[in-house]
């Protein structure tokens, strides 16, 4: 009886290791990060077709970005599960600046607040968002 239980345990462990190996080979479950400004621009265009960013501020950990186009539209690019979503920012959003961190709430139901570590660029983007809210 104990041998049967040990065989089941061994088979289960082999199956788990096999699934993990297969997922790794398929590129599933990777750590999604924005690599650089060009990568952020591609992701933004995929999120909202035709959005061509002229300015980009990347989160230092690569988990989000703020982008601006030539018309002054600003987009928040963030992870949502295993995908990237982009949201054009408007007066319904709330922002909070804390040194180099900018926290943004888009006001969408179910959407969490996003805190981006933008370093010195946080103040510049926060000021731009205040102008957006007043417009």
DSSP string spanning 31-76? -----SHHHHHHHHHHHSTT--EEEEEE-TTSSEEEEEETT--EEE
Mean pLDDT of all residues belonging to the chain: 85
Residues 120 and 79 occupy one common structural domain: yes
Residues 22 and 46 occupy one common structural domain: no
Distances (CA, A) of 62 to 1, 12, 35, 56, 77: 52, 36, 7, 12, 10
* Domain extent for 22: 1-30
Residues 6 and 51 occupy one common structural domain: no
For the stretch 62-115, pLDDT in tens is 899 999 999 888 999 988 877 888 888 887 778 888 888 998 887 777 677 889
């Amino acid at each position: 009886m104990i041998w049967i239980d040990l065989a089941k345990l061994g088979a289960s462990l082999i199956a788990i290791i096999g699934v993990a190996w297969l997922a790794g080979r398929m590129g599933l479950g990777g750590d999604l990060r924005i690599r650089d400004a060009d990568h952020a621009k591609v992701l933004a265009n995929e999120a909202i077709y035709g959005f061509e960013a002229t300015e980009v501020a990347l989160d230092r950990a690569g988990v989000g970005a703020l982008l601006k186009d030539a018309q002054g539209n600003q987009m928040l690019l963030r992870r949502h599960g295993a995908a990237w979503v982009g949201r054009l920012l408007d007066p319904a959003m709330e922002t909070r600046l804390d040194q180099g961190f900018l926290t943004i709430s888009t006001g969408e139901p179910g959407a969490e607040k996003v805190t981006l570590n933008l370093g010195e660029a946080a103040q510049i983007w926060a000021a731009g968002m205040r102008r957006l809210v007043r417009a």
